Amino acid sequence: MAEAEPQAKLHKSNGEGNGTTSMKFLIYGGNGWLGGVLQDLLTAQGKEFVVSRVRLQNRESMEAELDREQPTHILCAAGVTGRPNVDWCEDHKLETIRTNIIGALSAADCASSRGIHFTLFATGCIFEYDDDHPMPILQEDGTWSDVRTFEEDNPMDGPNFTGSFYSFTKGLLEQLLRHIPNVLCLRVRMP
């Protein structure tokens, strides 16, 4: 018998807000840097949220938690980046796939089947300038040169940076998530 997942801790709303709709957020990846930032933002806004303690690889526990907590929104900041850096993913491909692709897809699928909005905090490290998308150049008049940009709805303009296994998995995930309703991908780029 599988070990029971620890229960998530509920953070109650302070009652502020417009009162038009009751929202409850569930955060995956709440122990990471971005997850902590999300908790701080939701707390400051008086929003009700739960920090999940379920691993994305455990679909059964994820489904039970969603049914128990009844969130209206999922904020997914979970993923494998590697320690001490993304090079770890090169030697741990299966673990990287299980979390960055299978786990995240499973979470999005569980959300979709329940009509829950799913926001994935993704990475900006999946695109690079190339012959079809050259880097803009700052002109003498202070404007940028006119170049072809990446277009979200163009299937030929998908992620093109595969210089690391980490970026490869994150790019593939975004391509797959395009086909699941109620998903928003927000790309975060660390300075």
User: To the nearest whole percent, how much of the chain has pLDDT over 70?
Assistant: 88
- Own/partner pairs, 30-37, CB within 8 angstroms, 24+ separation: 30/77, 32/77, 32/78, 34/77, 34/121, 34/188, 35/77, 35/78
Three-state secondary structure string covering 81-112: CCCCCCCHHHHCHHHHHHHHHHHHHHHHHHHH
- Give the pLDDT mean for 34-56: 95
Q: Between these two residues, 20 and 86, which has the higher pLDDT value? A: 86
Whole-number percent of the chain with pLDDT over 90: 49
CB atoms within 10 A of CB 36: 15
* Domain membership flag for residue 80: yes
CATH code for the domain in which residue 41 is found: 3.40.50.720
Domain that holds residue 26: 22-126+161-188
pLDDT range class, residue 189, cuts 50, 70, 90:
confident
Residue at 35 is within a domain? yes
pLDDT tens-digit map of 73-92:
999 999 888 787 788 989 99
With the CA atoms of 77, 83, 86 and 91 taken in that order, what torsion angle do they form, in degrees rounded to the nearest 10? -120
Q: Tell me the pLDDT tens digit for each residue of 104-155.
A: 999 999 999 999 999 999 877 777 777 887 788 898 999 988 877 777 777 7
Report the relative pairing of strands 24-28 and 9-11 from DSSP bridges: unpaired
pLDDT bracket for residue 7 (50, 70, 90): low
Residue 124 sits at the vertex; the CA angle it makes with 121 and 125, to the nearest 5 degrees, is 120
CA distance 162 to 130: 13
Q: Does 14 map to a domain?
A: no
- Residue 152 forms part of a structural domain: no
Instruction: Give the chain's domain count.
Output: 1
Residue 16 belongs to some domain of the structure? no
Q: Please indicate, yes or no, if residue 7 is contained in any of the structural domains.
A: no
